[in-house]
Amino acid sequence: MLQTILKYSLLVLAALSFIYPFIWMLSASLSSESSLGELTLLPVDFTWNNYVTVFTKIPLDRAFLNSALVAVLTTGLVLLSGAMVGYALARLDFVGKNIIFYLIIFTMTLPFQITLIPNYITMVKLGWVDTYLALIVPFALNSLSVLLFRQAFQSLPQALIDAARIDGAGELRIIFQVLIPNIFPTVLTITILTFMGLWNEALWPLIVIRDESTMTMPQLVTLFSVGGRAEGQLGVKIAAAVMLAIPIVVLYLFFQKHFIRSMASSGLKD
């Protein structure tokens, strides 16, 4: 009995310490400046002002569209390229297949610190600085998704492919019409991982995007928080942070289980 009480009080305490800061953030963003710093559950002096100010100071709506565009397009490309490469590695035989597999492993262990500066210079030389291309193309393929697709395709029976071949389907049709529907969980995992990673990425946009109309949300919110445009007003910064958090939290509330499983599978890659 005592153990049970202890167990639940520990869990509740932990849960509170993870949830309460978010609740505080939400109510602080809806409170007047002078009541910030209160330990509160509900907004004090309720006001929308902070949000109004955020939208007049920075083009957050535009940044939202940029983020959404970049995340959706890139996720699509990652699925496309991952499925193609993963399929070839899983089901086809060709010279150099093993080399490619090892290159992928190598890429995954390579710290990004090495490639950061040269990649920036590539962007500059291609004239992609301040364009969506700089945000999309470098992320259009990722090693983890290739490996996950490879694993998923390997688990499927050869008969599925053979039957499709007899019907005269080409390889692309086999991949995208016959096989993909059978590995939906993997597709979902990759979608979630890629989308979340892109939505939250702040470092790379900071490096390649200087034009405010092309900035993504995390970048804009970071700059807003570091720079002087908030004029030292905390509530406004917090409101900007809330706006950045809301889309992904909403998605999380809908696809909670999938989020957790996807993240766990990325953690288990070693």
* Contacts of other proteins in 20-59 (CB under 8 A): 21-22, 24-25, 28, 33-34, 36-37, 39
Q: Site map for other proteins, 167-206, x if CB under 8 A?
A: ----x------------------------x--xx-xx--x
Taking the complex as a whole, the smallest distance from the CB of residue 177 to other proteins amounts, in Å, to 15
The binder of other proteins chosen from 41, 52, 56, 97 (CB under 8 A):
97
Q: Which span sits near other proteins by CB under 8 A: 48-56, 113-121, 148-156, 183-191?
A: 113-121
121 or 160, CB closer to other proteins? 121
Q: What string of DSSP letters covers 25-61?
A: HHHHHTS-GGGTT---SS-SS--SHHHHHHHHHS-HH
Taking the complex as a whole, the smallest distance from the CB of residue 207 to other proteins amounts, in Å, to 7
Nearest to 212 by CA among 226, 224, 228, 201: 224
**CA 222 distance to own-chain centroid:** 16
Work out whether 156 is an interface residue with other proteins (CB under 8 A). no
Integer Cα distance of 183 and 87 in angstroms: 12
Nearest to 83 by CA among 164, 180, 171: 180
The binder of other proteins chosen from 18, 157, 158, 254 (CB under 8 A):
18
45 or 48, CB closer to other proteins? 45
Work out whether 102 is an interface residue with other proteins (CB under 8 A). no
Q: Count other C-beta atoms under 10 Å from residue 131's C-beta.
A: 16
Region at 235 (left for phi over 0; alpha for psi -120 to 50; beta for the rest):
alpha
